[in-house]
Structure formats: C-alpha cells, structure tokens
Amino acid sequence: MKSPRKYLSGQGLLSVIRNQFNKIKEPRELAPRSNPITLTDCLMSGLAVFALKFPSLLKFDECRDERIIKHNLRTLYDVKQIPSDTYMRERCDEVDPNEVRKAYKKVFSHVQRGKALEEFESLLKNHYLLAGDGTGFFSSNEVRCENCCVKHYGKCRVTIKIRMPATLESIKKNTYILVKNPKQPWELLSVQNQEITNFYLI
C-alpha cells in the first residue's frame, strides 16, 4: 500500500478531491452536444472559486479566460473545460451535498493518517482545534436557503454534549450545542426559540 503522505501536498489533495468527484453520477441526462462539460470540471471549478478567492461567480466568469487563471485551473485543478458561472451553478445545484461531502471526508482521512493534525490536538481527547474562515465573503438579507449560515447578534453560548439532550427546556435561547453521538458525525446544533438547526461537521 502506498504511503498517504504524497497526498498531503496541495496538488495531491486536489487530486484526491477530483477522484472523489469523478465518482459522482450525473444527476440527469444531459442534452446532446458536441463536447459537454463534465460534472467533475464544474465541481472542481466551483472549488477553485473559493480557493482562488473570487468574490463571486460573476467575477470568476469575467476572469476565466485570463491566461493565468486558465493556467491555474488546468494545472492545479485539472479542469479540461471551464464552465460559465451560470452553467456551473446549474450543474452544481443538482448534486446531492452528501456526495460532495465524501470528498471532504476522504481528504480529512488522508490528513489524519498522515499525522498532519497532531499539532492541532486539544486537551479534550480525540478533539482538534481548527481556525474557521470564509464567513465574510458574501452576505445577503434576501438570498438564502436552509443550508445558509446565519449571523446572530448578541451573546452566544456553546456547550459540548456526548449525546443529544432529551428535551430543550434546559437549553437557553441562542445556544450552540456540539454533539458527538456514537458512530455518527459531529453535529453543531443551533437552538433558537426551542427549535433546532443541524450542521454536520465530520
């Protein structure tokens, strides 16, 4: 068996992600065309939008024909055909998020097996401390979906539970609960007015 360490480079991890994207089946049969853009190219282009710090899909579309951008998309992300912003959005919107999540889990397993997470271990057993980012690039009071992050102003409480509480009566409003159930992913639960919103973490 080959060592997973070769996958810990940027290009190696992108290769792992692309291999996982290749396994995602087309959600629907595409209309006949001479040279259709693959779903994998659309997903890798979507990844590049975030990694290359484009402020919007429209900005990506305006820059995709620039020499340096095209070079990076082809050499780093192995994108054969670069989709337009509209085409990429339409294709990516059809994909089940759980299928895309498999790429994240694969990368996480390689990084974990390569011992790259050891320096992030916390005092809590089997826990890692990681800095999060990406919340300030775009926000809107009108455009949203059920998977959007929501900013709550004022004090926020965070508590860690081994199992989901049986009732919410003891949980105060505007509290986030980090729950680890056996044989299930971590869940970040947002409690607002006795209602729960789930966010799967790992």
Residues 14, 103: one domain? yes
Report pLDDT digits (tens) over 86-144. 989 988 999 999 999 999 999 988 888 888 887 777 666 677 776 665 555 567 778 77
Domain contains 99: yes
Residues 93, 171: one domain? no
Cβ atoms 99, 27 nearer than 8 A: no
Domain count, the chain: 2
pLDDT of residue 121: 77
Domain contains 135: no
Residues 92, 161: one domain? no
Domain contains 144: no
Cβ atoms 171, 192 nearer than 8 A: no
What are 11's two structure tokens?
């290009």
Residues contacting residue 47 through CB under 8 Å, at least 6 positions apart: 14, 17, 77
Domain contains 17: yes
pLDDT, mean over the chain: 77
Domain contains 124: no
Residues 93, 35: one domain? yes
User: For the chain, what percentages of helix, strand and coil (3-state, to nearest 5) are there?
Assistant: 40, 15, 50
Residues 20, 94: one domain? yes
Residue 184's pLDDT band, with cuts at 50, 70 and 90, is low
Residues 72, 169: one domain? no
pLDDT of residue 132: 60
Residues 107, 15: one domain? yes
Residues 104, 164: one domain? no
E strand or H helix that includes residue 191: strand 186-192
Domain contains 161: yes
Residues 30, 109: one domain? yes
Residues 106, 31: one domain? yes
Domain contains 132: no
Residue 184, domain extent: 157-200
Q: Which of 59, 88, 113 is the last residue of a domain?
A: 113
More confident residue, 154 or 19: 19
Torsion from C-alpha of 156, 158, 163, 168, nearest 10 degrees: -20
Report pLDDT digits (tens) over 65-81. 889 899 999 999 999 99
Q: Which of 89, 113, 137 is the last residue of a domain?
A: 113
Domain contains 127: no
Report pLDDT digits (tens) over 5-64. 666 888 888 999 999 999 998 877 766 666 688 999 999 999 999 888 888 888 999 998
More confident residue, 198 or 57: 57
